[in-house]
Chains A and B, each alone.
Chain A
Amino acid sequence: MDDKVIIVDDLLRTFGSFTAVDHITFDVKKGEIFGFLGANGAGKTTTMKMLTGLLSLSGGKATVAGFDVQHNPEKVKKRIGYMSQKFALYDDLSVWENIRFYGGVYGLQNSEIKERGEAMLEKLNFGDVRDQMIGSLPLGWKQKLAFSVALLHQPGIVFLDEPTGGVDPVTRRQFWEMIYEVAETGTTVFVTTHYMDEAEYCDRIGIMVAGKLPALDTPAKLKQQFDADSVDGVFVQLARGKQKE
């Protein structure tokens, strides 16, 4: 119980008469890479938005980093990192200005921003592009940078919303290496994705279908449970099952 950093209990979100997230319950342990899968419109992004305090809850309870997201969203926000589907650094600011800006937004001291920012650039091998405008960089670079920026304030949990969408396979691979590295330092990674092969890299996965969460376990156990040889197989079975209904 003590090492659970995300606790979701009977979470509900409705938009008018439409139920986007239908009473789901799960938790995520500290340092885990938790993959959140589902077709478009299954409720992944809605769930993530509720967990990051961007959206209010219609029912149920969610605790992130020890705080109730409904009642203490500001406290939650300080302790999480967030990287959205859309690439979200400023094109007309340089690499360093983006780092400085987001560092400032999360309340880091100038000395901290300088120290961590320099270390980050060195690690990414981005020293040369430090003063270049973000707009001039290739997408893969931007994604890596956006991920690193989301970790600048050293959050306990980082939420990644389809971080590898539209990125080439090599960069995707590098991206996942970065995710592993981060998880090893004890940071919890909550990631949504479309790519079923990426799901295999996760410690545990949850698959959302039409607002519900019918599958929740390690990739290996899910494959066993659904008698499939890949997560893709599990996913297809679940999606078909929904169609039969």
Chain B
Amino acid sequence: MRSFRGFVIKEFYHIIRDYRSLLILFGMPAVQLILFGYAIRNELTQAKFAVVDPSHDVVTTELVNKMSSSHYLQFDGYLKSENDIHEAFKAGEIKEVVVFDRQFAHKLTHDGVADIQLIADATDPNMGRMITGQIMGIIQQFQISGTAGGTPGRIQITPKERMLYNPDLRSVNLFVPGLIAVILMLISALMTSITITREKETGTMEILLASPLRPMQIIIGKVLPYFFLAFLDVVIVLGLALVIFHIPFRGSVALFLGESGLFALTALSLGLLISSVADSQQTAMMMALGGLLLPTILLSGFIFPVSSMPWPLQWLSAIIPARWFLVIVRGIMLKGVGLAIIWKETAILAGMTLVFLFVSIRKFKVRLD
């Protein structure tokens, strides 16, 4: 046990003295959080729109006012005619143009029908759809509230939507759980596989294996510091997310930490598996980045929803541990669910971990023989 403690201490020295390790361990999570939190946003904030309004009456002014007061939208000004629309879009500032019919108020009161055309810059299709949706919502609201004056009382069916668990549709809320998965994968799998192959490269692994330390002690001694640091990172990222981005946390913290620990273990066992195959740090890094990190980012549902993938990718995503972890963490953080609901995902993760651990330990032993 004494020699084991010395081993762990030595491992910490390695980490502290290698600025690259430190950067990956603590720089990367912070940078990623800020990147995903601030820069990469899917939601609308102050999207600019312009208006073509040939009638310029009470109703259209009222409508434009209503649109301007939404904090998702920002009124950029009037365009002279429809011919200016392309120019406005090309300039790039304006994302949506609202075109009112001639004699809008008049037609509305007399004919009961008036047209509004919504033209979106669909260079970014999601963005275009979202802005249009926002404006439609405002128009509908306006119509129902009856401010339109003497609108004939027609029966209307209006769906009222409510976005549960993430009412503001903030993408940060979605990204942070994914980010935790990526960070755990990065630190636990990438770092452990690199640190073990490094000992192989320098020849120190041979010395360690020739020493009375048991292989199990060597593995655990190498892995434990990273497990600890990965956990620390989870807490830091979560803390930052709560403080800076005001992410909701509705579930049990203990359950969250437990599940994070389980996922860290999954990633560690993958790291061990890689290091039992790879002989150099470069190989290990390529395998970890290409084989683990990319799928974790692309196929887990972190950025692209699993349900909108073509079925072969959906099927593939089932073997990616992060996919299950994401369901778990989003469930705990945003919906506040308990183990009763996420036991299935937990069981899948645990099963995967056992398989990976079993295989990598077997492989490690074979290499000694």
Contacts and interface: CB of A to CB of B under 8 A. Distances in A.
A78 interface: yes
Contact of B17 (A92, A104, A105, A107): A92
Interface string A99-141: 0111011110000000000000000000000000000000000
A89 to B, nearest CB: 8
A84 B203 contact: yes
B203 A92 contact: no
Given A78-B212, A92-B14, A105-B213, A85 B203 contact: yes
A192 to B, nearest CB: 14
A82 B207 contact: yes
Given A86-B203, A92-B14, A97-B13, A52 B6 contact: no
A8 to B, nearest CB: 17
Contacts, number: 76
A39 interface: no
A53 B369 CA distance: 9
B18 A92 contact: yes
A26 interface: no
B7 A84 contact: no
B6 A105 contact: yes
Interface centre among A78, A88, A93 (most CB of B within 10 A): A88
Interface of B: 2-3, 5-7, 10, 13-14, 17-18, 202-204, 206-214, 368-369
Contacts of B2: 104, 107
Contact of B206 (A84, A97, A101, A106): A84
28 contacts: A52-B210, A54-B210, A74-B214, A77-B212, A78-B212, A80-B210, A82-B206, A82-B207, A83-B207, A84-B210, A86-B202, A86-B203, A87-B202, A87-B203, A88-B204, A90-B10, A90-B14, A90-B202, A91-B202, A92-B13, A92-B14, A92-B18, A93-B10, A104-B2, A104-B5, A104-B6, A105-B213, A107-B212
A100 B202 contact: no
B206 A54 contact: yes
A55 interface: yes
B3 A90 contact: no
A93 B210 CA distance: 20
Contacts of B7: 101, 104-105
Tell me the interface secondary structure of chain A in the complex.
loop
| 10 tightest A-B CB contacts, nearest first | A86-B203, A104-B6, A82-B210, A88-B203, A56-B369, A88-B207, A78-B212, A77-B212, A92-B17, A52-B210
Interface residues of A, number: 30
Tell me the interface secondary structure of chain B in the complex.
helix
Interface in A188-244: none
Nearest to A75: B212
A59 to B, nearest CB: 14
B3 A107 contact: yes
Interface centre among A55, A90, A92, A105 (most CB of B within 10 A): A105
A82 B212 CA distance: 11
Nearest to B18: A92
B3 A104 contact: yes
Contacts of A97: 10, 13
Nearest to A159: B210
Nearest to B218: A105
Contacts of B206: 54, 82, 84, 86, 88
Interface centre among A52, A90, A93 (most CB of B within 10 A): A90
